[in-house]
């Protein structure tokens, strides 16, 4: 397990997916043949995942663009905050350099 830590994760994920998919397959297999129940369940799962990606990816792209545009302002605010936190330490002599000299 130490040499390949992703193997147990993949195995557990596969078992969990098989367990979750077994319930609709078992229920549908009472109404239709089992192979058709498995096919319908798989297609339904693929459709849900595709729909989730189609909805979530544009939202994530918009959020990422907003974050990238906000990074300079965030950096400026962080620098200002650090300066205001370090200035009293410089004034009292605890820090030998001014906050701006290390930037």
**What sections of the chain are H helices per DSSP?**
6-29, 34-91
- Best CA proximity match to 79, nearest among 103, 62, 44: 103
Residue 24 placed within a domain: yes
Q: Which domain holds residue 11?
A: 6-102
Cα 44 from Cα 80, distance rounded (Å): 52
pTM of the shown model:
0.56
The answer as to whether 1 is a domain residue is: no
Could you tell me if residue 50 is inside a domain? yes
Residue 43 falls inside a structural domain: yes
Question: 36-95, pLDDT tens digit by residue?
Answer: 999 999 999 999 999 999 999 999 999 999 999 999 999 999 989 988 888 888 888 787
- Count of CB atoms within 10 A of residue 41's CB? 20
Domain count, the chain: 1
């Amino acid at each position: 397990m130490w040499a390949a830590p992703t193997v147990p994760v993949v195995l557990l994920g596969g078992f969990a997916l098989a367990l979750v998919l077994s319930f609709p397959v078992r229920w549908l297999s009472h109404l239709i043949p089992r192979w058709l129940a498995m096919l319908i369940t798989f297609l339904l799962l693929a459709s849900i995942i595709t729909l989730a990606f189609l909805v979530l990816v544009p939202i994530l792209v918009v959020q990422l663009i907003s974050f990238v545009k906000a990074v300079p302002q965030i950096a400026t605010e962080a620098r200002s905050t650090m300066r205001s936190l370090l200035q009293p330490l410089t004034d009292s002599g605890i820090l030998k350099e001014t906050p701006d000299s290390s930037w």
